[in-house]
Chain A
């Protein structure tokens, strides 16, 4: 697989605006989950969410605000690499599940809604407008594969570079907190009233979150130092249930094996796994089973990040991959914020707290989604 490298990242999340805030949260194992007055209504299962509270909560275009903020930061970080690439060779891949669903809420309730906000109800238009605003005149795509969208968008970005359609790709993941999504997960009874606790014995569900997260991918050949690269990926479908994961974890295990095959790595070469870890009973149990199927009793350290950020849906794969990049740069295995007592059956080295390591060479990132979709991505350092 020809090299595709990370040249820059940006993130606006529940732990703050910018990569420094995310880095601090990683080091402190902090959680950004808070009670939010907007969702403190009987129709919602919980008001504990991962809100990017520094953003303008009155905006009619929150998806744009989150994505735009993250893209500015990622491009700034990647300024040197992007400077040498003509804008028509820069693509953009957007990962989202609901784009600017705020506009639908407003239009349905006859509240004010700008033309731009209405336009961004469509993910493909949001992608085109972000590309135009951020100097990406190459190919533009909008990937929407439930909660696996982020990992698939990163794969799409890498593929565009590998097949010569672009020299750099801005991958941006975004989903904003909305009454629509919180009402939907409330209807499914999928929210933990006290905030999510991935892999915990007492976990009771997920916590909705929001994020804008952006990664600049470039051909590794264009980097002065290769740094962290995409080493392989794999995808699969459970073909089992629309909203629930397969109990035996075979689909996710298949995606992991495909990723290992494409990276030409053996399971024992993986140094750390960043799990999907929603905090729902079935997801975490399935993921533990899948990890056992691939790694046996020698599973590498595992942790999950949704206790820090909430479940950010289409942004999840992108922002959690950024956390993996930070972990590799910082040589720090991330903890699992809000995990207290590990549930029976979870991998034995499920990290509650961050742990320094001498080196993180190969990291495996996992995401799964409604519709049975599974994604696995391997990042490698140097």
Chain B
């Protein structure tokens, strides 16, 4: 069959514009399917990672944009089973005022950060440096790489929310590949704000690590009960649940997108089938001649089907590569937009690329089988009678 590959390829290229347009449609559809397929897996991966720890978030029951008194932190730390807790407050600092906030930056409690986020694998030396320097900062690897920073660098964040600019010395890296976060001392922000006469007794949320996973539900209930009927009632969630809720709306959209993408893939089968039909119809005379000179119908069927499959597979491969580029672009975008954080984990895996190639091949076969069979099985004498 190998000797027929040039035969198939040359036939495929006899109408390059048509092949390119059909291939382009298949390529875009496959790229879309691949990109959208990364979403559920990306969310799952993100949430599964979170599920491995026994960290909980505590925030105002009215929503995460509402603060809570800083005093809650000490009371939460005192709950049995809580190993450590840190407050988190959004600073909204930017490297360049014109570009705005390009990575999420939070004021945190330095003392317990290593305990609460021990699963992140931050080097002890970096944590120690962070603890002991009031202007220290821990920075996610993605932001480090994007900004070209390294430990020891001195940088300044311009306050986009608060009227203070803060200078930092980078203590070390948060070594997660796609981590964009930037952490610095809460006390450092507090002092700066106090100097401006701005009170800072509120925190955005509190993260606490529980000693054992089985204690988590009880501790969460105890915390929420503790602040019931207070000025800021709390809602505790596991980290997984927190992000699950945070992105639940997006997940709904993704299901819709996935359905649409499969429908598009279905449409592409019909578009490609139409192209294959046109290609076969135009060549009925040639096919009759080839059969006359001894080409068996199965061979013709295989070569015609091969054309459709080859076109779809090549287009599918290009579509898969395009999806790689798109997801990388999305990851970059996600690093700049804190609420899109998990998108950084939406990667086209090797397995998805293989699946895309098989899907493209399948589209080719499905679209080509009927016209190829019809063309190859047609009687030579009948065709010759009709076309000559």
Bind each other: no
Q: Which residues of A contact B (CB under 8 A)?
A: none
